[in-house]
Amino acid sequence: MKRFFMNGHSNQKSDINQSTQYPKCFIGLLILVMLMGMLSSCTQKAVDTNEPTAESTSPSASAATNTPEAESTKAPIEIKYMTFSAAPDHLEDLDAMIAEFESQNTDIKITYETYSFADYFTKLQTVVASKTAPDTFELNYENFVTYASKKALYNMDDLMKADTDFDSSIFNSTALNAFRYDNKQYGLVESFSNVVFFYNKDLFDKANLDYPNESWTWKDELAAAQKLTDADAGIFGTYAPVQFWEFYKTIEQNGGKIFNADKTEVLIDSKENIETLQWMIDKIEKYHVSPSDAQMSGQSDGDLFRAGKIAMLRTGIWMFDSFKDADFAWDIALEPGNTQKAHHFFANGVAISKDTKNAEAAWKWVKFLTSSKEAAQIRVDSSWELPALTDETLLTSYLEKTPPESRDVVFKALDTLVVPPVIGNWNELTDLVGKELDQAKLGQKTPEQALKDAKTAIEGILE
């Protein structure tokens, strides 16, 4: 027993000696198992709690935050807009448009600046040059061409194609195409106004003459004007100013132009244009059916028409309200042409800055402002020019107003619209041509010589 004990003791010692070796291996194994357990636990925790990892810009991560609560706290995209036509008479109308837009697009906020027309383009030129232009801004046609040619505008073609809700046919196609440049859409037409043929129905009735109609030519106008003119009563049969803005439109009625298609050749002294200028002056000096400057005695053509002293007048549709209280009946017709019809087209469009950081949001605002039913109705109801849209239901309230009875002529005139012959040196062009027209009107130069001199001057400023 003792031996056994001794042997047992001896064996115990031996076991103890061995136990000083096994714990190293055992402890290492134990630590490994524990580490694996901890790793498994951490992995499980990441899966269970859906905690983002360093790569969590994934859909699962965004899905965790893309909740109604998160969206409601997300700041809306701010789109800045700059305008000249809203102030001072239509700021409330613009506010109404913005409110409606924002109610439909809660993720977009519109802020705007407005300037008078006299100051607007100086300001716009400054911000565009400094690359601080607003996301969207208003442009009249003349300045649109300048900014498009200088690559300051965003090409809208891809935005239009990507927007499955956009249908360009809602616009008058000719008006929309006026805001294309280099075969690209750089703006949407926002509003327009034009010039039509006003006539005094009472004077026509008194002379037992038929009212002007779409088939009238310059000869028909002259024949009626000669019968309507009453020198003793100070009544003139017709009137159109002899100045640049009237000239570039009237030459189109005779098949003429100031430039060729790509504006590389000056055509202002063409046979058609010389005939046109002669016709404009002859109504004053040869036929005496139009008043001279001296005979107008400082009165405007609108004043004379309203006083019943001009039977037929070419002027803008913006005169409707001015003439509505006239004490005689009047209406409008398409302008007579010689070889074809042609009508002024004065348009404002809305463009997107090429430097915008939010092109898609800017597109939504531009589309709404120019073509939505809501914006169009506000514009029509407030007499803030007219939307160039084909949906006549949007224009019902406008077309139902009288006078004039023939308001549909305003939209028929769009089919033969003429845009200004804009070049880079636009202001110089209008000034130098205007001076030559003045000299022809005053008899200081023949129409032929005045237009030849104008050609030389224009060639000197072409870029």
For 239, the enclosing helix (H) or strand (E) is strand 236-239
What is the per-residue pLDDT for 57? Answer: 33
- Which residues, other chains included, contact 319 with Cβ-Cβ below 8 Å and sequence gap of 6+? 198, 302
What is the per-residue pLDDT for 397? Answer: 87
> What is the residue-wise DSSP string for 34-77?
HHHHHHHHHHHHHHHHT---TT--SHHHHHHH-SHHHHHHSPPE
d(CA 407, CA 6): 129
Query: Rounded to the nearest 5°, which phi and psi values hold at 21?
Result: -105, -45
Q: How many CA atoms lie within 13 A of 310 on its CB side?
A: 24
d(CA 459, CA 265): 8
Contact between 450 and 436 under an 8 Å Cβ cutoff? The reply is yes
Closest CA to 256 of 239, 274, 242: 274
What is the average pLDDT across 162-173?
94
d(CA 299, CA 295): 9
Give percent of the chain above pLDDT 70.
84
Average pLDDT, the chain: 87
Contact between 230 and 291 under an 8 Å Cβ cutoff? The reply is no
Query: What distances in angstroms separate CA 389 from CA 96, 115, 126, 169, 173, one per listed residue?
Result: 20, 26, 32, 8, 9
Helix (H, G, I), strand (E, B) or coil at 119: helix
Task: Tokens for 38, please give them.
Answer: 């901890």
Tens of pLDDT along 392-418? 888 888 999 999 999 999 999 988 999
Query: What distances in angstroms separate CA 244 from CA 258, 315, 388, 429, 447, one per listed residue?
Result: 11, 14, 25, 9, 14
Residue 116 has pLDDT above 90, yes or no: yes
Task: Tokens for 96, please give them.
Answer: 């109404």
What is the average pLDDT across 9-26?
37
| Greater pLDDT, 381 or 58 | 381
Task: Annotate 275-311 with three-state secondary structure.
Answer: HHHHHHHHHHHCCCCCCCHHHHCCCCHHHHHHCCCEE
Tens of pLDDT along 83-104? 999 999 999 999 999 999 999 9
Please count the other Cβ atoms lying within 10 Å of the Cβ belonging to residue 139.
27
Tens of pLDDT along 295-327? 999 999 999 999 999 999 999 999 999 999 999
Residue 334 has pLDDT above 50, yes or no: yes
| Greater pLDDT, 261 or 58 | 261
For 137, the enclosing helix (H) or strand (E) is strand 136-140
What is the per-residue pLDDT for 424? Answer: 83
| Greater pLDDT, 9 or 461 | 461
Query: What distances in angstroms separate CA 170 from CA 175, 189, 210, 334, 364, one per listed residue?
Result: 11, 11, 36, 23, 16
d(CA 386, CA 366): 16
What domains appear along the chain, each with residue ranges and CATH number?
Answer: 74-192+346-390 (3.40.190.10), 195-343+408-461 (3.40.190.10)
Contact between 336 and 218 under an 8 Å Cβ cutoff? The reply is yes
d(CA 183, CA 63): 42
What is the per-residue pLDDT for 463? Answer: 67
**Residue 50: which pLDDT band, with cuts at 50, 70 and 90?**
very low
**Residue 63: which pLDDT band, with cuts at 50, 70 and 90?**
very low
Query: Rounded to the nearest 5°, which phi and psi values hold at 248?
Result: -65, -25
d(CA 191, CA 175): 9
What is the per-residue pLDDT for 217? Answer: 98
d(CA 307, CA 267): 39
What is the per-residue pLDDT for 392? Answer: 83
Please count the other Cβ atoms lying within 10 Å of the Cβ belonging to residue 343.
24
**CA quadruple 43, 47, 49, 52: dihedral positive or negative?**
positive
Residue 37 has pLDDT above 80, yes or no: no
